[in-house]
Amino acid sequence: MYPASFEYHRATSVDDALGMLQRYGEDAKLIAGGHSLLPLMKLRLSTPTHLIDIRRIAGLSGVRENGGGVIVGATTTHSEVAASNFVRAKLPLLAEAAGGIGDPLVRNMGTIGGSLAHADPKADYPAVVLALRANVVVVGKSGKDSMESDKTFTGMFTTAVQASEMITEVHFPVSGSGNGGAYEKLADPASGYATVGVAAQLKVEGGTVTSAGVALTGFGPKATRLSAVEAALKGKPATADTVRAAAKQAALPGVTPYQANLACVYAERALIRALERATAK
């Protein structure tokens, strides 16, 4: 309940935050919504001696368009993403996932950058950024890097983002028409985290699936792209049969029979809805 003692700093700019990260090194942690970090600190599982608050840095929050794609600032809350008409129209998968994270309190405080940096193995956003082939923009002393989502998550609660770096925004590419996506999860009745969550994004052109992004969260150390499912979709007719057959490839090795079943069922449900959206007139 009472965290170990720490010093609180409010960063005024990204450069200010990076400067402090450098100054305080391993003893520092960035904080935005605090919904992952503070519980760990209260349990003293995490004991940073410097907290650098990036919540009030101007320009880090909000949703905007970029070349047909969507850019979400790192400190944008889950409820802002879920409520954004632009996101709902362009990437219903993203809005859907954001609207189902935790509960209203979590959604009103928690941020996309915080969720991605924390990399909880049962969090929703990692599967979404994998399925959407998003780029995570990371800023450090050596400059700005647009990190592919496939390279972002390295293990349980660990990412390729270095301790001296921070996430500033996430780029979600969207091109042309015929796109459709959906997120399906079985929420843990206690935590709201995904017992299983599947994010699916399809692009359908001339009755054929031309690209597919499917990723799963909830099992194992980190969210995973379901490459076998994607391969079973690409170039196939955009039909429910295709989707059902592809979903059978969602069972990854090393999981329990129940998890294997959940992966297939939830992949199918997400893909069916993604297909409906991608082929809707």
Taking the complex as a whole, the smallest distance from the CB of residue 1 to another protein amounts, in Å, to 4
Phi-psi region of 68 (alpha: psi -120 to 50; beta: other; left: phi over 0): left
The whole-angstrom separation of Cα 75 and Cα 218 is 24
Taking the complex as a whole, the smallest distance from the CB of residue 191 to another protein amounts, in Å, to 4
Taking the complex as a whole, the smallest distance from the CB of residue 120 to another protein amounts, in Å, to 11
Q: Is 265 in the site for another protein (CB under 8 A)?
A: yes
Q: Is 43 in the site for another protein (CB under 8 A)?
A: yes
- Centre a 10 Å sphere on the Cβ of residue 227 and count the other Cβ atoms it contains: 12
Taking the complex as a whole, the smallest distance from the CB of residue 156 to another protein amounts, in Å, to 15
Taking the complex as a whole, the smallest distance from the CB of residue 208 to another protein amounts, in Å, to 28
Report yes or no: 247 and 267 within 8 Å, Cβ to Cβ: yes
Q: Is 86 in the site for another protein (CB under 8 A)?
A: no
- Vertex 205 angle, CA 203 and 208, to 5°: 90
Residue 85 or residue 256: which is nearer to another protein going by CB?
256
Residue 199's nearest CA partner among 226, 167, 237, 168 is 226
Q: Which of 2, 85, 143, 281 binds another protein (CB under 8 A)?
A: 2
Q: Is 45 in the site for another protein (CB under 8 A)?
A: no
The whole-angstrom separation of Cα 118 and Cα 141 is 21
Q: Is 206 in the site for another protein (CB under 8 A)?
A: no
Taking the complex as a whole, the smallest distance from the CB of residue 3 to another protein amounts, in Å, to 8
Q: Is 76 in the site for another protein (CB under 8 A)?
A: no
Q: Is 262 in the site for another protein (CB under 8 A)?
A: yes
The whole-angstrom separation of Cα 160 and Cα 169 is 15
Residue 47's nearest CA partner among 18, 26, 76 is 26
The whole-angstrom separation of Cα 124 and Cα 178 is 24
What number of chain residues touch another protein (CB under 8 A)? 20
Residue 120 or residue 230: which is nearer to another protein going by CB?
120
Residue 231 or residue 260: which is nearer to another protein going by CB?
260
Taking the complex as a whole, the smallest distance from the CB of residue 40 to another protein amounts, in Å, to 11
Q: Is 189 in the site for another protein (CB under 8 A)?
A: yes
Residue 3 or residue 62: which is nearer to another protein going by CB?
3
Taking the complex as a whole, the smallest distance from the CB of residue 188 to another protein amounts, in Å, to 7
Q: Is 5 in the site for another protein (CB under 8 A)?
A: yes
Report yes or no: 94 and 185 within 8 Å, Cβ to Cβ: no
The whole-angstrom separation of Cα 111 and Cα 36 is 10
Q: Which of 176, 257, 280, 281 binds another protein (CB under 8 A)?
A: 257
Q: What is the DSSP letter of 3?
A: P
Helix extents (H) in the chain? 14-24, 37-42, 78-83, 85-90, 92-99, 104-109, 112-118, 125-131, 149-152, 227-233, 240-247, 257-279
Q: Is 8 in the site for another protein (CB under 8 A)?
A: no
Which residues are near another protein by CB under 8 A? 1-5, 42-44, 186, 188-191, 193, 195, 257-258, 261-262, 265
